[in-house]
Amino acid sequence: MQEKHILLYTPSLHTGGGTERVLVNLANALQERGFAVTILTNKQGSSNLYQLHPGIQTALFGFAALRDRHPRNLLFKIINKLLGPALLTRFLRKQVRRSTRWILGFSPDITNDCFRTPYREKLIAFEHFPFEHYNRFAKAQQQIRRNFPQLKHVVVLTEHEKNVYEGLGCRVTKIPNSYPFEPGTPAALENKIVLSVGHFNQQKRRDLLVEAWSAVHRRHPDWQLHIVGKGPDLPAVQEQIKRLGLMDSIRIIEPTRAIQTHYQQASVFVLSSAFESFSLVLLEARICGVPCVSFDVVCGPNELITQEQDGFLVRFPDTAAMAQAICQLVEDSQLRITFGARSREDAIRRYHPDAIYQQWENLLGQP
């Protein structure tokens, strides 16, 4: 019987987002390395985009989903205030074993909720958003400032965030994401396809991507933009595409398990996010040898891309500069090959799964 039990607690497993991909990859790697892994969720969906190791257990905290469906209901607010910690404690009591080493919280809300239970000494926060993101959420930021310095560890993805959380007085470990696949051969970079992967939401700023593409399309009407993703902003972006007359040059694709195929078919990758903590999709593009263009936001892309050495970083939200960077790669096949090869070499050197998951094993294997 496995002795090292880890609980990974996440809002959901069914939206197809990058955080969920990271969680599943981490859970599978830990299970294979001798940990007993249970994934706790607050929401349950019908899709199953990412494949879990058969030995991993899952459990649903149904009250959290019910609470989220009534966020403005005064009665529910009172019930949550009075009974929330007790109900979560009861849920965790069924999951925590004698051998449970840690509860790894995949969102600050979950971490702060668990902090109010008797299991706070087992809590590790795994942060996937930059701390700057919480400037718009005063209550969440206040809870992070108050609670996180009392945790055993806070795990972050970048050096920038490590410095931020150390400044708050936290014990911080930086463990970046690893790439989830490694193709035997890099992308050929011959197809006239520019790719972007991720949700349609306020973070990913697809409107800016479409605006930039409009300028690219005028210069290179024979190229296409493929966007893999879905989300609440999709209808608005589809209307923007129609308004700009780009229906024939932009293809929107549902999230898929076969995402590697799309990277392999692309010649350029673009990230238009307003903020990132790391950006798994940039790493996935780079391991496939696809040169990247990204907005240079506070952190994340600028720790992956070396400017004008293996990709382009442009000032947010300068869509003209983004269009020019894309066009530079579209027009120069040798530059694409050079940047793509350097990107792949850097990804293998810095983000190999064996090295990354060894760091996790070292951290979570502690008594």
Q: How distant, in Å, are the alpha carbons of 26, 286, 334, 352 from that of 178?
A: 9, 12, 28, 6
Q: What is the largest CA-CA distance in the chain?
A: 63
d(CA 57, CA 38): 5
What is the average pLDDT score of the chain? 93
- Residue 48: is its pLDDT beyond 80? no
Contacts of 86 (CB under 8 A, 6+ apart): none
Residue with tokens 């009534």: 70
Greater pLDDT, 356 or 65 = 356
List the alpha helices (DSSP H) in 244-351.
259-265, 280-287, 301-304, 319-331, 333-351
Query: What pLDDT, in 10s, does the model give residues 124-154?
Result: 999 999 999 898 888 889 999 999 999 999 9
Q: Which of 117, 73, 75, 80 is nearest to 95 (CA)?
A: 117
Q: What is the pLDDT of residue 359?
A: 97
Query: Which amino acid type is present at position 177?
Result: N
216 CB burial (10 A radius; 0-12, 13-18, 19+): buried
- Residue 283: is its pLDDT beyond 50? yes
Least confident residue range of 75-79, 100-104, 235-239, 315-319: 75-79
Query: pLDDT tier at 47 (50, 70, 90 boundaries)?
Result: low
- Residue 1: is its pLDDT beyond 70? no
HEC profile for 38-74?
EEEECCCCCCCCCCCCCCCEEEECHHHHHHHCCCCCH
| 129-148 core/surface letters (b: 16 or more CB in 10 A; e: else) | bbbbbbeeeeebbebbeebb
Q: Which of 113, 114, 105, 103 is nearest to 6 (CA)?
A: 103
- Residue 165: is its pLDDT beyond 60? yes
pTM: 0.91
